[in-house]
Amino acid sequence: MCISDTLYACINNIQGKDKSGMALVNLKGNARICGTEALISDFYLQDTYSTINSRFFYMKYDSAKDLSNFTQKVRLGLDMKDSYLNFKTIGKIAPSLTGSSLAFYIDGAISGPVCNLVSKGLVVTSESGHSFLDMDARITGLPDVSRTMANVKIHNSSTTFNDISDRIRNRGVKLTGSAGKNRSLAALAPGTRMKYVGDLTGMLTDFVIDGKVTSDKGSSDVDLLFRVEENVGTRFRGDVSLDSLNLGHIMNRDILGETTSSAKLDVLFKRSGGFDLEVDTMSIENLFFYGYNYTDIQGNGIYEDDVFRGEFLSNDPNLKFLFNGMLSFKDKFINGNEYDFSAEVSYANLSALNLDMRNNVSEVSFNSEVVRLNSEDSTTSGTVQVRDFQYRTENGQYKANNIDLKLLNSNNIHTATLYAPFAKMEYSGPVPADMFVKKFLDIVAWQKLDNLFERDTTEVLRNGIYNFSLQTLNTMSLLNIAFPGLNIYIEDGTKLQVLIDRDDNLTGSLLSGRLALKSHYLKGLELLLNSSSIDRSNLKIFSDEVHIAGVTMDSTSIGVSAANNVVDAGFAF
């Protein structure tokens, strides 16, 4: 219907498809068109992915000639309500966004020419409903998405780590580590809502976040660059400061508590999985850990491909500490990782730090160097050197100038040697020394008493020749300080030896002139052990003199054997 120079129409359904592949499923509304304006009230538009509901949609222009310069001269207006926008729709005109599945609901008005769109009071809600933004925005540079800039002021917002994780995942970025470890943001701060107030400025895939994040777990000031790096991942770079932020609640770890700290960092969530982190400057004003509030800690470093290289300095009154070097987290700490670092502990009050609850006074200091490196011929060598070790309690002080541990893995033969003022040890076998303990227990006890012990049958403990020996030196002062009141005594020269052959036949012995605990003691002790995977475990103990509970026995012998969940024992003196 035409009245004067104005056309009125009721649009019931328009369908179509343009050259970009965008399919218009339905367009309807009440239209009014004149020489300077085209208006559709009760506007409804639906394509394959998105649905726009609006009180109106208009195009205003001074004359029909302006339509030839549409993005610059034609002023648009849209007042959305309960609308749904999927980035797959935008991807039809901006191919760089084609792979994104990001989608959200929109309420609010947008106006201006395509090249300079403005919105005030726009409310954006995530598809899950767990996140929202209340903001003002200006977008310039359209339709050239590569040059489009946005200035967004967020007055109020709310989200969760779970929703943030989904948004990053929708960018095609995996959040699990290269070693299969779960590093998803979704695991952080379950149930905690965060509020952000501040500015977002930049391009769609390269912008600055400048504002404050608050929650009931504390707050954080952020000034970060967000950048999507094609075929690489998503990067955050800039400054972050935490104010009384409860890390324990966020990471779901009871031993952690509040921290006030700041850092200049660069985090890359890699498209292939995992993340890299570079900390240029970190300052910890306070950090609650395991019941103690640490203060005055600085550090810097790089975490890349599951390897950390960096430096930490602690000037806490109860921990004077300097760490410098490299740590690998690709495998179990002993079995497969590389590390090369020095640690100088000039003072550590273990009692104050809640690391030694037995003593009112428990202080330690030492210098150490730890190296474990893998060579190209699959040979792994490692050393641990501890110098100027001092340990003090209210019962006295212990000093050890040199403690040396050497590790070597060559052709799948692992060796370890320890020399210290209190003991010397040697080990060789087809698995690392920590796995030898499991091998020993498997042959002696786990196989024989499987009703009593849980055995991990999935872990393969390799066959081969194992040889372990330990000889004590001067242990008296160390034991008296480490275990006050127990009066533990191990005579110098006490020897422990274990041998396992390729058929899992095990023999072991413990020889000691004297072992004592409080008033109880054994003199002239000889302990003999033999076992195999197909036979019984047999233990024989001989002692020239045994004193227990005030009773002294000469020439004592004890025999114990175990098989098929049955234990037999005999005793004579």
**β-pairing verdict for 423-429 and 275-289:** unpaired
What mean pLDDT do residues 410-416 have?
Answer: 89
| DSSP category for residue 147 | G
Instruction: Give the lowest-confidence range in 226-230, 413-417, 539-543.
Output: 226-230
Cα–Cα distance for residue pair 259/249, rounded to 1 Å: 12
Nearest to 264 by CA among 297, 223, 296: 223
Q: Which of 21-25, 183-187, 301-305 has the highest mean pLDDT?
A: 301-305
State the average pLDDT for the chain. Answer: 87
Cα–Cα distance for residue pair 548/523, rounded to 1 Å: 12
For residue 482, give the H/E element and its range.
helix 476-482
pLDDT 10s digits, 333-367: 444 567 889 999 999 999 999 998 877 889 999 99
pLDDT of residue 21: 72
Residue 228 pairs in a beta bridge with 234
Write the Ramachandran bin of 497: left for phi over 0, alpha for psi from -120 to 50, otherwise beta. beta
Nearest to 209 by CA among 255, 129, 153, 142: 153
Q: Percent of the chain having pLDDT more than 70? A: 90
* pLDDT higher than 50, residue 227: yes
Burial class (CB in 10 A: 0-12, 13-18, 19+), 456: exposed
Q: Which of 10-19, 157-166, 302-311, 500-509 has the highest mean pLDDT?
A: 500-509
Cα–Cα distance for residue pair 558/562, rounded to 1 Å: 14
Peptide bond into 421 cis (omega under 30): no
pLDDT 10s digits, 136-181: 999 999 888 778 899 999 999 998 877 776 666 555 444 444 444 4
Cα–Cα distance for residue pair 235/222, rounded to 1 Å: 14
Any alpha helices (H) in 212-334, and if so which ranges? 247-251
Cα–Cα distance for residue pair 189/175, rounded to 1 Å: 16
What mean pLDDT do residues 423-452 have?
Answer: 89
536-563 per-residue burial string, b: 16 or more CB within 10 A, e: under 16:
ebbbbbebebbeeeeeeeeebebeebbb
pLDDT band at residue 133 using 50, 70 and 90 as cut-offs = very high
